[in-house]
Amino acid sequence: MEKDLILTCDTGTTGCKCTVFNPRGEALFSVRRGYPTQYPHPNWAEQDPDTILAAMFDGIRELLMQVNPQRIACIGLSGTMNGCIPVDEGGKALYPNIIHSDSRTEAQVSEILKVIPFEDFYRLTGNRADTHYTLPKILWLKQNKGDVYRRARWFLNIKDYLYGCLTGKFGYTDYSDASLTIALDINRREWAGDLLRELDVDESRMPVILKGHDVRGKITREVYRQTGLLPGTPVAIGGGDGACTTRGSGVSEPGSAYCYIGSSAWVAQLLDHPLLDPKARVFSWLDMNGEDYHVCGTVQCGAAAFDWSLKNLLGGNGQSADISIVENMARQIVPGAEGVLFLPTLMGWRTPYWDPNTRGCLMGFSLYHDQRHIARAVYEGIAFALNACAEVMAECDAPVRSLMLTGGGARSGLWPDMIASIFGLTTRVHRSPGETTSLGAAIAAGVGVGMFNSYSDAAGMVTARSTHPVNPQWQEAYKKVYAIYADIYEQIRPLNNRIAAL
């Protein structure tokens, strides 16, 4: 029987999606299993790795009720980035995964910046020293969970833990996840040994770095007994969700970018070098292939700000408004919402200001305005925030020349047209906006087993379901409104700092 299918497991923040793809990149079957996040203290966010493992196994079992396992050519993996799971020599998780949204490590970030200046750190790693990344979480474990730290053989991200559980090979990661530990030298493409020594972190506890399409791992007999996957089936180590989404969006050359609109939102593209912005407004990480670089500007609250508005500004009696009704309301109002402006900064501002004190803002309304204006302003505010990310890239000589939209927000009938006119370029909507991350994991696996000649070759199979040209009238209106939007931050920053001090 021909081995013509790829099975992927994408472990996101709220659940694991298991999907089977054919060689054309079409998702044939998909199942999802949810799992909880624990918040034991303010600013903490943890998940049980073995609960996620059980969810993945359950999803695989259901898929294999629909697909003959003999057809599975390879397994591809993706998962949330910036986490930290200490595991022992045998691969046992010693502590919950401290996930990307956890920000308990302010003291450890300060400690890092005592041994290396901020600017030097950014040039070394391509990233800002920040609480959400892995390295300060390792330091937190060392200082607060000494027994766990001493017993830990490796510190892994979730997809690397699952790779070990599937193959028996623990202590491996890929270039993308390694980059966003902020313990990697972005230029030399290896662990930043001098930095780790300064922080008294043993470099040998960092995993071996592989290319995402590396398929040395094979399904074990124990996994066969638990899932039905055939022993010896290759497993590609894959990549972090950001890297996989880029590849699943069909991005393969400089200027070719995608915009992801989910709970958080971002604009990213691939370059042949790290983009080191003098103002550190965007960040870079290595691609799964260990050669290209992702550059990304991010909006902390994308659809999360939209959902908050549905419930608190546009809904009633504590219930969220219907999205289709809200979108129709927004369409009734001209671009610029007749002077109503919305800042989706409900969890601080990342690109371009990186200011955690920034609060959300709705302004410019009068007795004349109604909910339709607010609806339009909410859509526009999120699109403006994304445009600010693209502007920084252009300022750093990496302009966005084409844009694929993906994520849940790409299903909107309004955002694609709006973003095209605000960005000033034709946008396309991915044919399967909800499958891009899994598709990227499938592409890495397909390269590993020779189903695709290369990542760029596989990008050619990614297509769009719709194309959205620039509307000249909208574009002209948005230029005027965006100029006001871009000035708001500096004007209200002192007030936000005073609010934060309360």
User: What does the mean pLDDT of the chain come to?
Assistant: 96
The DSSP code sequence of 137-154 is HHHHHHHH-HHHHHH-SE
CA-based R_g, the chain, Å: 22
Q: Average of pLDDT values for 59-81?
A: 97
DSSP structural state of residue 322: P
CA proximity to 163, closest of 236, 272, 247, 80:
236
What is the C-alpha to C-alpha distance for residues 18 and 28, in angstroms, rounded to an integer? 11
CA proximity to 349, closest of 235, 223, 500:
500
Residues written for the chain: 502
Q: Where are the beta strands (DSSP E) in 12-162?
A: 15-21, 27-34, 46-47, 72-79, 85-87, 97-98, 154-156
Token pair 């044919």 is at which residue?
A: 431
DSSP structural state of residue 41: S
Q: Across-strand partners of 34?
A: 15
**Is the pLDDT reported for residue 388 higher than 80?**
yes
CA proximity to 167, closest of 126, 221, 127, 115:
221
pLDDT digits (tens, 9 = 90+) for 283-326: 999 999 999 999 999 998 999 999 999 999 998 877 899 999 99
pLDDT digits (tens, 9 = 90+) for 137-159: 999 999 999 999 999 999 999 99
What is the C-alpha to C-alpha distance for residues 410 and 434, in angstroms, rounded to an integer? 9
pLDDT band (50, 70, 90) for residue 164: very high
- Percent of the chain at pLDDT above 90? 96
Task: Tell how strand 46-47 and strand 217-218 pair up.
Answer: unpaired
Spatial contact of 438 and 248, defined as CB atoms under 8 Å apart: yes
Token pair 């103002």 is at which residue?
A: 279
pLDDT band (50, 70, 90) for residue 387: very high
- Which has the minimum average pLDDT: 78-82, 250-254, 399-403, 437-441? 250-254
**Is the pLDDT reported for residue 120 higher than 90?**
yes
CA proximity to 182, closest of 229, 247, 113, 255:
113
pLDDT of the residue at 276: 95
pLDDT band (50, 70, 90) for residue 80: very high
pTM equals 0.94
Q: Average of pLDDT values for 33-46?
A: 95
Which domains can be identified in the chain, with CATH numbers?
5-237 (3.30.420.40)
What is the C-alpha to C-alpha distance for residues 251 and 270, in angstroms, rounded to an integer? 7
Q: Residue 140's CB: how many other CB atoms inside 10 A?
A: 22
pLDDT digits (tens, 9 = 90+) for 329-373: 999 999 999 999 999 999 899 999 999 899 999 999 999 999 999
H helical segments located in 43-186:
49-63, 106-115, 118-125, 134-144, 146-151, 158-167, 175-179
pLDDT of the residue at 390: 97
Q: Across-strand partners of 86?
A: 155
Q: Average of pLDDT values for 450-464?
A: 95
Tokens of 146: 């000494």
Q: Where are the beta strands (DSSP E) in 262-326?
A: 265-271, 283-286, 293-299
pLDDT band (50, 70, 90) for residue 1: confident
Q: Helix, strand or coil for residue 407?
A: coil
